[in-house]
Amino acid sequence: MKNPIALVTGATSGFGQAIALRLAEGGYRLIITGRRSDRLHALSSHLISMGCDNQLSCFDIRDREATTHAWNNLPESWKEVDVLVNNAGLAAGREPVELADPDDWDQMIDTNIRGILNISRLVIPGMKDRKRGTIIHIGSIAGREGYPGGNGYSATKFALEALTRSMRIDVLPFGIRVGQIAPGAADTEFSTVRFKGDQARAAAVYQGFEPLHAADIAAVLWFMVSR
């Protein structure tokens, strides 16, 4: 029997990259996605050096047409996805609502909510036919608690909790599991992205405590998918 397939969104950095590597170590074949083609190619080569067969797919998950096109372009045998990791996401800005940039809200809502819907709608039908599959959403502590300036980002992660619960009910009768990991602060590129390249502001987020690391989240995900 061929090794199972996992599709990891946002595999070019942080959690997604660590998750891809952990799943490869565990014997999965991988579909890795993201917008940065150079990073996808570098990860793909590294996975091959680990003996992990993989496909890379470069697209912006906010773009429903591009996401559908990328899915349709996968070889048929690669569409038999066993594990979908809905990880691609971001925070943009950390200002009170009245000072925030509305374009930041759009980017977060389009990526963190619409993006997950865009890819899930394509992967779920095959899982239903095969009567198996695992979908893991990467949520956040920001989807459990509010914090200063967290408004738009928190709203998307609270919404993801609603999406997780609702999707789970829809697909459980087909033997598909839906889970979520909701980490606290972790030292990925998350804050650099959030503060648009302001390294000093990004570094300040992690002062005074040891943040989580991407490998921690990958370990939790591995625990979940291997049950």
> Site for ligand NDP (CB under 6 A): which residue of 4, 7, 8, 16?
16
Instruction: Give the SS3 label for residue 177.
Output: strand
Per DSSP, which regions of the chain are E strands? 5-8, 29-34, 54-58, 83-86, 133-138, 176-181
**Cβ at position 186, least distance to ligand NDP in Å:** 4
Structural contact between residues 125 and 131, judged by C-beta atoms closer than 8 angstroms: no
Q: Give the x-and-dash track for 18-37 against ligand NDP (CB under 6 A).
A: ----------------xxx-
End-to-end CA distance of the chain: 20
Question: Which of ligand 8X3, ligand NDP, none does residue 111 bind to, with CB < 5 to 8 Å depending on kind?
Answer: ligand NDP
> Site for ligand NDP (CB under 6 A): which residue of 4, 5, 6, 12?
12
Within 177-206, the residues that bind ligand 8X3 by CB under 6 A are 184-185, 190
Cβ-Cβ contacts under 8 Å for 155 (sequence gap 6 or more):
109
Question: Which of ligand 8X3, ligand NDP, none does residue 89 bind to, with CB < 5 to 8 Å depending on kind?
Answer: ligand NDP
Nearest to 84 by CA among 32, 156, 144: 32
Residues making contact with ligand 8X3 (CB under 6 A): 140-142, 150, 184-185, 190
